[in-house]
Structure 1
Amino acid sequence: MNHIVSLKWLLARLYESDLVIVDCRFQMGKGQENAGREAYEASHIPGAVYLDLEKDLSAPVDADGHGGRHPLPDAAQLTGTFSRVGIGNTSRVVAYDDQGGAMASRLWWLLKYLGHDQVFVLDQGFAAWRDAGFPVNAEQQVRIPAPFLAEVRHSMLAEVDDVRELLGTDQATLIDSREPARYRGEVEPLDKAAGHIPGAINRFWKDALDERGGWRDENAQAARFAGLAQDAPLIVYCGSGVTATPNVLALQEAGYTNVRLYAGSWSDWISYEENPIAVGDEENPKDE
């Protein structure tokens, strides 16, 4: 796998000088905002730094709701954050969480978006590392800031206007990464309206993982998206732009080359009253 590293791979390189390990644990939900940091402070992979989904990897929510529940940070601000924790242009970065790779994939995508390719997600996450008997501690090392020069890859991002223009056309396929009941509009625990963007197909992001919580290989990922040509334009979204990123990673593992993230996702889409909403199942994707 190109973007996933194993527990043993990281163990063998744990103290290499160019490696930056980032703990991305974060619990969604009211009252859980500090749970990830508290877990990090209690125990983490040696040398790991902590980056918080909402404080470090997202911008503040806009008062009018536009941009979604986890808006993208300003590129300059994000570059400063990475530099502060020791991530430079020559760093190798390994991100982990305990949420199936969702938060780690958010960091993976953000670094890719800023032009940094040497970034990976740790297979299975922290609990598997700890349960394997690999080293953990509670020490918080002081990191020396590293120079980080961003080269923003705008082609990785889709905005609300891009999605609007594609509605009713065959110019791109929208992939909704949320659980099926949310996609169909049967339940909506987080956002003000239920349903999905018209024309979107549903590929639940957790299906990228196997029964042990590890990432499926490239062949299994490709099977999840069967029927879509590998060079087909794809736009992936979820509720707020976080759990879509594991699907972006899975698509890249499977060889798809034209994948964009709608970062604002469903929470941004429904912030515009004029945007249409669909419920129920959509047709299967076209055959190649």
Structure 2
Amino acid sequence: MSSLIEAADLAAALDGSSPPLVLDVTWQLGGPPGIDSYRVAHVPGARFVDLATELSGPHTPTGTGGRHPMPEPGAFGAAMRRLGIAAATDVVVYDAGQSVAAARAWWLLRYFGHDRVRVLDGGFAAWTAEHLPVTDVVPEPAEPGTFVPRPGEMSRLDAQEAAAFVAAGGVLLDARAGERFRGESEPIDAKAGHIPGAVSAPATEYTHADGRFREPAELKEYFAARGAVPGARVAAYCGSGATAAHEVLALSLAGIPAGLYAGSWSDWITDPRRPVATGE
């Protein structure tokens, strides 16, 4: 199953005999809450999922785990069952932005063992660009699903493993904006810079202006220029793990399996003993 679906194909699937479960994962750093946009308009039948509470775990006092900590298997499983997900459920996720939040949902479902999940390429904007129907009607609660999380189906790194990964010659890609990587600007986290040995690969550079992913051949060329080629050991990180999931998705479209440093930069900087690099 492809990891992406086009808007027209999703519309056709929703009219079919076995429609997929659609999840709206609209989220924006700093707000407003995604549920507000969802209540105004969403894909008919879509159910809202909150990135901060259902696709993230609780914050720790030290900040370990980053701004969006990994959810515990039990909590994530309960949230997915509430949405009606079972082993055979086809899931499509989208958001109203650049598919970063949707990719977080895609990666978590894959990590916890559910591979029947696709991202709507171009998100809600692609849906409305096709003049497909939208609604403000919130569906009735779903019949509870039977989803059982199986952690570890996707490669995941912690801070120690990320450091060892670079030391062993792995290609660690930084999905944040170039100025944040270089340490010239840091509007969110307490320290500026990047993990020593990481390579800048901003998420905005491998997508089109409308948020759609570039073609696989273009993605391969983009990542190859940064040392990430099929057969190489590759992983990605960002500020909190969400945009890095988007990068892992892009890498998979290019035929390059990659790990995810889930805590990312916001976790890395919680230990003052960890080195910080700036510049190119």
1:249 Cα deviation after fit: 0.4
1:24 match: 25
State the AA in 2 paired with 1:180. Answer: G
The amino acid of 1:249's aligned partner reads L
Task: Measure how far apart 1:18 and its partner are.
Answer: 4.9
1:3-47 CA distance string (max 9 Å, x none):
111010001011444511000111111xx152x101101111000
After TM superposition, the structure 1 = structure 2 runs for residues 41-56 of structure 1, keeping only pairs within 5 Å, are 41-56=39-54
- Alignment counterpart, residue 65 of structure 2, candidates 64, 67, 82: 67
Following the alignment from structure 1 to structure 2, what is the Cα–Cα distance between the partners of residues 213 and 151? 31
Select which of 124, 127, 144 maps to 1:126.
124
Q: Distance in 2 between matches of 1:49 and 1:3?
A: 20
The SS at the match of 2:167 is: coil
Alignment of 1:220-259 (within 5 A): 220-226=218-224, 227-257=227-257, 259=258
Equivalenced residue count is 276
Verify the 8 A CA contact 1:43 1:138 in the aligned structure 2: yes
The aligned counterpart of 1:173 is 171
Task: Output the CA distance in 2 between the equivalents of 1:154 and 1:125.
Answer: 25
Which residue of the partner structure matches residue 286 of structure 1?
none
Change (3 A) 1:18 1:127: closer
4+ aligned runs moved over 2 Å, structure 1 = 15-18, 164-169
CA distance in 1, matches of 2:29, 2:186: 15
Distance of 2:71 and 2:15 partners within structure 1: 30
| Native 8 Å contact 2:113 2:152 kept in 1 | yes
Would the alpha carbon gap of residues 134 and 154 (structure 1) be closer, same or farther in structure 2, given more than 3 Å must change?
closer
Alignment match, 2:36: 38
RMSD: 1.4
1:1-288 matched pairs, under 5 angstroms: 2-16=2-16, 17-29=18-30, 32-34=31-33, 36-142=34-140, 143-153=142-152, 156-170=155-169, 172-226=170-224, 227-257=227-257, 259-281=258-280
- Judge which range, 225-234 or 173-182, deviates more: 225-234
| Identical aligned residues as a percent | 38
Residues 8 and 130 of structure 2 are in contact (CA less than 8 Å); yes or no, is this contact kept in structure 1? no
Structure 1 unmatched ranges of 5 or more: 282-288
- In 2 relative to 1, CA 270–130 (structure 1 residues): closer, same or farther, beyond 3 Å? same
Structure-1 separation of matches of 2:154 and 2:106: 16
Deviation at 1:213, TM superposition (A): 2.6
TM-score (structure 1 length as normaliser): 0.92
Tell me the TM-score normalised to structure 2 length: 0.95
Distance 1:92 1:154 in 2: 17
Q: Which runs of 5+ in 2 are unaligned?
A: none
